[in-house]
Amino acid sequence: ENVKLKLSQFCQVPVSNIVNLHDVTNIWHIPLLLRDQRAHEAILKVLGLWCVGKVPQEPKLSEWTERASRFDKLKSPVRIAMVGKYTGISDSYLSILKALLHASVALDRKLVVDWVPSCDLEDSAAVEVSTFLPDIILIPLSMMVNILILGIVSLYRRLMPMRKHGVY
């Protein structure tokens, strides 16, 4: 509350319009935090949508609550080997990661992504992909062109040992 009071004084924002969003286990908890701090009421007031004499409806967040709880309870992992050129840059494949996350939660599986730099598929710098045995190997379309240039034979040699373990 002291931090909210200081922010209010120095930023000329009413204390009731300041919300505290701390780190959460998953993104689906954010709307729940906003609801718990009555952020919807502050937004209605600022936008002039507050109906005088009417009590605002509680946001209907049952699906959000269920999704947040579902994510927190995930145990069974799905391992995906993601081959890419820019695996060291966290946002390079963000849209793919978010799609995989939503799909894995819908299927009650915990997403585990193992990054495989495409340069590791060359013979000279090869890392055995078979050491972590992914359930899925995902190669974005743009990477397929690069991999073909590097040599499909090299990729084949690296992934062949995985066939022995039933991974295709």
Q: Nearest-CA neighbor of 165 among 118, 129, 112, 141?
A: 129
**pLDDT of 48 above 70:** yes
Q: What is residue 125's predicted lDDT score, i.e. its pLDDT? A: 47
Q: Which residue has the higher pLDDT, 82 or 124?
A: 82
User: 14: number of CA atoms within 13 Å, CB side?
Assistant: 8
Average pLDDT over every residue of 92-109:
90
Mean per-residue pLDDT over the chain, rounded = 80
Residue type, 134: P
Residue count of the chain, please give it.
Answer: 168
Long-range Cβ contact pairs of 32-37 (< 8 A, separation 24 or more): 32/61, 32/64, 32/65, 32/68, 35/59, 35/61
Can you give the pTM of this predicted structure? 0.65
What is the spatial distance between Cα 146 and Cα 142, in angstroms, rounded to a whole number?
Answer: 7
In this predicted structure, the answer to whether residue 108 has a pLDDT above a threshold of 90 is yes
pLDDT at 130 over 50: yes
Q: Which residue, 154, 150, 118, is CA-closest to 137?
A: 118
For 162, the enclosing helix (H) or strand (E) is helix 152-163
Tally: H helices and E strands in the chain: 7, 3
In the chain, % of residues over pLDDT 90:
25
